Chains A and B, each alone.
Chain A
Amino acid sequence: MVDNLNAVAVWWFALSQTVLFVLIAPLFTSWVRRIKCYLQNRQPPVLLQPYRDLRRLFAKKVIFAHNASVVFRSAPYIVCGTTVMAAAVIPFLVVEIPIAAMADAIVLVGMFALGRFFLALAGLDVGTSFGGMGSSREMTIAALAEPAMLMVVFTLAMLASSTNLSTIVTYILNQELVIRPSLLFALLALVLVGIAETGRFPVDNPATHLELTMIHEAMILEYTGRQLALMELAAQLKFTIYAVLIVNLFFPWGISQSFAPGALLLAAFALAAKLAVLGAFLAISETAMAKMRLFMVPTFLAVAFTLALLGMLSFIMLESL
């Protein structure tokens, strides 16, 4: 009976952890934006501005294009839903989450792929030229970024002998001080893939509607109101998911291994500090870099794939004695 109760409590905890994850996503985006503003000598908006934007969008009336089909109407729910599911899979504050036993790192990549598929369909659905262009670009990038992402996942899976994210984090958390080339390269590759997948500098500029360069914005150009809010939230959440993945997989120190309140509080503080530092690094690199030409993106992703491949190879060649 007590075990049963415990299991229910653990599930409730996992659920509330996911809700917290979704809630901090706009805050993290806002934090990166704020640092960028400081670096570029601009006056930043208040830290809660993305929440205000979302509330405003949710209150607005939804208008559809005349020829919008059911795919277009349902896409925001599917895209946002898959992203929330992806967030649920990741160890956030606690290592051992029950859902990790059901959905591993490959499911995580699959969730992203499903969401992206519907996002691209929605871009094509209305038949505007911008939407089609954005979808085509998004799929080009995805086709190159996904293998690199999977290589990173495989490298970590070989290291921890499991694709379960909780097991991988536990393994990295409990190993002694060790310098692994495979982890170094996997980290670099994951950072590059994350930049390409979440449409940040230098691949895509999330702050502009310039037709020559936009990728993500081009696909959601036709959305209004509630639906646009869901799309925006999904994009912010995906950005935060990659940040949490990088932080928790490669620098998991501080994450809680139990459900004790003290440990949870410590985990929350550690995660906040790590995300703040990562966000600052990202903002600095985005300020220092110029956006690359679209035709350079395949080379950028080839570098990411090569790094991921080298991570795997150096694990096989150097680390498996």
Chain B
Amino acid sequence: MNTYADLPLLQQTIQTLAALVLVSSFALLAQSRVIATIQVFAWQGLLLAVITSLIAWETGLTHLYISAAMTLALKAFFVPWLLIRQARKLGILREFDAVIRPGITLMAAGSLVIFCYNVVLPIQRFTQSITRDAIAISLALVMIGMLMLITRRKAITQVVAFMSLENGLFFAAISATHGMPMVVELGVAFDVLIAAVIFGIFFFHIRDSIESLDVDQLSRLAETDE
């Protein structure tokens, strides 16, 4: 077992899906339409759920199936559905969120991936997990999520960025140690659920106070409009 071609097909599929998750992260970064961003986020959740169940199949760890089911229910269906519903209520579903220079942002994301690979290289040597190659990708997901947080203007796409960052953390846990203890995972999933609901309430508060979801306007301190 020394080359990639010698790996079992199931592991190759997991690696390929991991690469596709990275692509979905790049796609999130480049999407400017609010609805398309949420849809790509849903696809990312679906991919993560498939990877998790494949890893569960490969390793025989049954608790990973529960994680996969939770990911599928929350990240692929519930949170996107909630975000789309809120966006429709706010009337911004078909609006554009200006991405600052998509070309340069994509290049920056590419260099972040290289950076993450080099950071993770020493860690990889000490894990025996079958998915140790994907640790770099999970760290890159976190970094790209952060990059997306600072390149977006609308609160709703920033929430999507935050959620995809959380996807990266989840993927890191799955690929490095085959998942966190069940209690922690349940707690995190519940946190994400509550966060999505609270963010939704905040959207309406932000809109009520500045009549827009453009968070750049929050940097101006003024008592009244002059």
Contacts and interface: CB of A to CB of B under 8 A. Distances in A.
Interface string A279-321: 0000000000000000000110011011101100110111111
Q: Give chain A's interface secondary structure class.
A: helix
B4 A319 contact: yes
Contacts of B106: 302-303, 305-306
Contact of A310 (B3, B7, B19): B19
Nearest to B26: A306
Contact of B4 (A178, A310, A313): A178
A307 B26 CA distance: 9
Contacts of A306: 26, 30, 106, 109-110
Contacts of A299: 30, 102-103
A181 interface: yes
A303 B106 CA distance: 8
Nearest to B131: A318
A160 B117 CA distance: 22
Given A302-B106, A321-B4, A179 B22 contact: no
B98 interface: no
A175 interface: yes
Given A175-B5, A310-B19, A316 B117 contact: yes
B12 A180 contact: yes
B222 interface: no
B169 to A, nearest CB: 19
Interface residues of A, number: 26
A179 B5 CA distance: 8
A185 interface: yes
Contacts of A303: 30, 106
A318 B110 contact: no
Interface in B1-60: 2-5, 7, 9, 12-13, 15-16, 18-20, 22-23, 26, 30
B79 interface: no
Contact of A179 (B16, B107, B117, B137): B16
B185 interface: no
A77 B115 CA distance: 47
Q: Considering residues A178, A298, A306, A320, which has the most beta carbons from chain B within 10 angstroms of its beta carbon? A: A306
A176 B12 CA distance: 13
18 contacts: A176-B5, A179-B12, A179-B13, A180-B12, A180-B16, A181-B19, A185-B19, A302-B102, A302-B103, A303-B106, A306-B109, A307-B23, A310-B26, A310-B113, A317-B136, A320-B4, A321-B3, A321-B7
A2 to B, nearest CB: 38
Interface string B157-198: 000000000000000000000000000000000000000000
